[in-house]
A and B are shown apart, each in its own frame.
Chain A
């Protein structure tokens, strides 16, 4: 293997296309393991769940627009807010961020497919099943009604009647299983499949962010899976994990849930931070300021994220000394966040943009991120203080706070990233003219909707109420909030229109429409199934900005079968060639069998026994050993 610009011949490219293309037809689609195919499906599905969650929110805002409205029954309202929160957190935010990683990382890192592509395909089917379970249950009036954090005893066997809380708990199992599978693929891809020469300190910051995120997922998700499994056991087979009358503890659930639930926020936020750190240099026409501090901030945030969970429990009566520790750690996370913001400001301050660069649609979303997320961070410092939290907790102030953090901190950068990478996904650009309107409507609509909620919370309005009495004085502001929500919804509608129109009629993008520096722009848009005809070799953090002519490439990988190059963890020196799995229908069947097992277990514990049989059969077929083609 040598680093020289020996470009592959047309015959070799045709062979690569044959080896990496997915099989045609319906079954071929179900068997696909290409990270781009899976990533696209994941992103599209996640946006569908975003729209559904948004519709649920609009229904709630309609109900809250006037006091003592009877448009929604309390039962339906409770199902809607639970489905809204659960869908946004478990079915939209985390999956869409992972999906961006699934699509982009192999391209950014210069490899031909993600590690464990079949596991990745399995993850998508499991995720889809979990999403259908939740939204399907709403259709038949059986949706969970216990809130996205499903506190016991309300979600326990005694007070959570019917199967609603069970559906919630198993939906958690689906989505966490899916998230864990992707996280493992991401860690392996980032560590072992980087292009030759892409040492860790030359890796795009988005890859760093996804790496930290993947580790956070691996460490955080098991807590909630154990917690929700214990909840199902309490409900289904009569254990007493959370029953104080039999020696259980209701606060155990809160600890397990928030040990996952707080890192979850950073699992959503860190990829967005990585997107900003990757997009900003493109428009500033210079490398990001402070690469090393930014990496340290990502890692520091990822670690601190696990020391904050008790700040969701400041009013439960835990010892004040212990709570004070969590105040300190919660406030301390402002330091790495601040550091990142200062590095981005320095990047902008010392930018050398071409005219118009700083007002491109992705930049508008980054500017919106600054105004909105920082305000959410400030209110975050407030709720981190135990004394203030006793007033703000569980009020509309907190609703405002976490929407500022999650929408401002994650959704705005994500939509900016959609405008930025859409050309790579589809080969066509989204409209800049419509993009400005989308950014304007979303940023303005968001702030008009959520800023007044700070006041509502201070004025005493608790969250999760399906209505409020007229004499409370909250009606005017609630009406204003509900009207503003329509503006926000119009922004999302226009985004949908832009995507639909641009898919068919958008301007052709070319390989590198933004003149960006990272590797995903070194291949065609959309990329071929094998990503790169020849593997790029990397010498700097922005390989396309080297100014040394065409990228050097590595040769030596097979062209007639699927192979990826494994490199060393630190320096990314070439190590070995590794076969990459062929398409397979078995991840789909395995996911279907697992789905039957998990949904069956909502109704009878025996489903775990009987469901294990087809699941095992599918896994055996999936992993059936084959002779490597090389050895035939």
Chain B
């Protein structure tokens, strides 16, 4: 037991993880963190007190059989039960108060639509012309409330970015939403929290919180449609994307690839990670992924497409240029 307690405290010393409820960087998560430590303090004290009474009871050996002793014990048990009821009622009230803070109330939040697929995330910033569609990464301006609208395309998923807020499920046939306000710029990892099949473990999402001006710049860059490349290898890569199977599932604005089944590729290389958080976004990762997606993430929907080595090189170079 004691070793366990020490073990709990040890990692707390350096908890600045990218995905941790112990390091709240959003308004909702901060309120939840405060409530959590209140519960830990109250309940931990009660636990210690009960064990202390147990230890004393096991050691003590002078018991009078007098009925007065039974009556006194009866009074103590009654009092302890009443105290339990009071503590529980107090914690329930604290919980109710915090329930109001589970979702920020904002007049004009930034709306982001998040749709869960096996095993990746489609991200839409609504706007004219279908809005801006991207995948596996959300960017948010620090200090502004964001309303994340949650839906699921296939099975139940759950959106959980512990540094910023508690989780909310994404359920087929239902519309859920969560409003949170990120406070500190940084990169926060989110992960699907509802078991969703074979690659549930590899369904992550980066939430990048930026100063508002950086966010605006990112948004402008994302809205731009990539021009057809002049470099012959890149141009060949783009042709391959359109002519091989890629375009059947993936869309790339401004090209003939307009599939709707997989992640949008328009600004693929601007994202932190590939394959929903599995690989860092490098040309090497892109090439490895295209060469054998089933080896890297068994069971995912992307088939292996036969490419000659120089075709793979050209396609990779083109995708890596989509910043």
Whether A and B are associated in the same complex: the answer reads yes
- A interface residues, Cβ below 8 angstroms from B: 73-75, 78, 146-147, 151, 153-154, 158-159, 244-245, 249-251, 289-290, 293, 315-317, 320, 323-324, 327-328, 331-332, 334-335, 338-339, 341-343, 345-346, 348-352, 358, 367, 370-371, 374-375, 378-379, 381-382, 384-395, 447-448, 451-452, 454-455, 458-460, 462-469, 471-473, 476-477, 480
Please tell me if the beta carbons of B88 and A387 are within 8 angstroms of each other in the complex.
no
Whether, in the assembled complex, B243 has its beta carbon less than 8 Å from a beta carbon of chain A, the answer is no
Q: How many residues of B contact A (CB 8 A)?
A: 89
Name the distance in Å between A291's Cβ and chain B's nearest Cβ.
12
3 closest residue pairs by CB, A with B = A390-B166, A244-B173, A451-B4
Selected from A331, A351, A459, the residue in CB contact (under 8 A) with B22 is: A459
Contacts A74-B199, A251-B171, A348-B58 known; A324 to B99 CB distance under 8 Å? Answer: yes
Please tell me if the beta carbons of A342 and B80 are within 8 angstroms of each other in the complex.
yes
Contacts A317-B176, A459-B19 known; A334 to B47 CB distance under 8 Å? Answer: no
Contact sample, A vs B, 21 pairs, CB 8 Å cutoff: A75-B298, A289-B70, A315-B169, A324-B96, A328-B92, A338-B84, A339-B77, A342-B76, A342-B80, A345-B54, A351-B63, A370-B50, A375-B47, A378-B47, A387-B35, A391-B166, A451-B7, A458-B20, A460-B21, A460-B191, A462-B191
Which of B40, B46, B101, B201 gathers the greatest number of chain A CB atoms within 10 Å?
B201
A-facing mask of B55-77, CB < 8 A → 1, else 0? 01110100101000110011011
Which of B31, B102, B193 gathers the greatest number of chain A CB atoms within 10 Å?
B193
Whether, in the assembled complex, B128 has its beta carbon less than 8 Å from a beta carbon of chain A, the answer is no
Q: Spot the interface stretch: B129-137, B139-147, B156-164, B307-315.
A: B156-164
Distance, CA A374 to CA B50, complexed state (A): 9
Whether, in the assembled complex, B200 has its beta carbon less than 8 Å from a beta carbon of chain A, the answer is yes
Please tell me if the beta carbons of A75 and B198 are within 8 angstroms of each other in the complex.
yes
Whether, in the assembled complex, B15 has its beta carbon less than 8 Å from a beta carbon of chain A, the answer is yes
Q: Which residues of B contact A316 (CB under 8 A)?
A: 169, 171, 174, 176
B198 closest partner in A (C-beta) = A74
Tell me the total A-B contact number using a CB cutoff of 8 A.
Answer: 257
Q: Which residues of A contact B12 (CB under 8 A)?
A: 455
Q: Which residues of A contact B73 (CB under 8 A)?
A: 289, 346, 349-350
Q: Which residues of B contact A459 (CB under 8 A)?
A: 11, 15, 17, 19-22
Please tell me if the beta carbons of A345 and B57 are within 8 angstroms of each other in the complex.
yes
A-facing mask of B107-123, CB < 8 A → 1, else 0? 00000000000100000
A471 closest partner in B (C-beta) = B18
Selected from B39, B191, B192, B193, the residue in CB contact (under 8 A) with A393 is: B193
Whether, in the assembled complex, B322 has its beta carbon less than 8 Å from a beta carbon of chain A, the answer is no
Q: Which residues of B contact A341 (CB under 8 A)?
A: 50
Name the distance in Å between B27's Cβ and chain A's nearest Cβ.
13
Distance, CA A465 to CA B202, complexed state (A): 8
Which of B12, B102, B160 gathers the greatest number of chain A CB atoms within 10 Å?
B160
A457 closest partner in B (C-beta) = B21
Please tell me if the beta carbons of A390 and B102 are within 8 angstroms of each other in the complex.
yes
Please tell me if the beta carbons of A382 and B11 are within 8 angstroms of each other in the complex.
no
Q: Which residues of A contact B39 (CB under 8 A)?
A: 381-382, 385, 388
Distance, CA A387 to CA B278, complexed state (A): 30
Whether, in the assembled complex, B32 has its beta carbon less than 8 Å from a beta carbon of chain A, the answer is yes
